[in-house]
């Protein structure tokens, strides 16, 4: 139970930081584009989990939006710390 929980929180944080790091290297970027890429990644992960599980609608919302929010906030924190230095 501990390993899936760590993956559930650590994977979105890693995806968010790596994605923001990659997109921050471009000259013209916008936070909307970063959010759209994160949505795409999380929706694909969500569809993968949906195929293999039997959950209610509330569980689907939790599975989709909580990792998305975590990864987006982790990426924003990364950009804030990087730009502050």
Residues 6+ apart with CB under 8 A from 63: 46, 49, 50, 55
Note the pLDDT of residue 50.
62
B/e letters for 17-34, b = 16+ CB within 10 Å, e = fewer, are bebbeebeeeeeeeeeeb
Q: What is the pLDDT of residue 52?
A: 61
* Higher-scoring residue by pLDDT: 47, 18: 18
Average pLDDT over residues 48-53: 63
Question: Which domain does 61 fall in, by range?
Answer: 2-84
Residue 26 DSSP code: S
Total domains present in the chain:
1
> What are 27-43's pLDDT values in tens digits?
556 666 667 777 777 77
User: Strand, coil or helix: what is 34?
Assistant: helix
Name the phi and psi angles at 75, rounded to 5. -65, -40
């Amino acid at each position: 139970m501990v390993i899936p929980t760590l993956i559930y929180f650590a994977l979105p944080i890693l995806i968010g930081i790596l994605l923001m790091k990659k997109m921050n290297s471009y000259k013209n970027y916008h936070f909307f584009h970063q959010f759209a890429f994160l949505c795409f990644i999380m929706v694909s992960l969500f569809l993968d989990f949906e195929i293999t599980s039997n959950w209610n609608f509330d569980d689907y919302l939790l599975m989709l939006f909580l990792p998305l929010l975590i990864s987006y906030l982790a990426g924003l924190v990364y950009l804030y710390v990087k730009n502050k230095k």
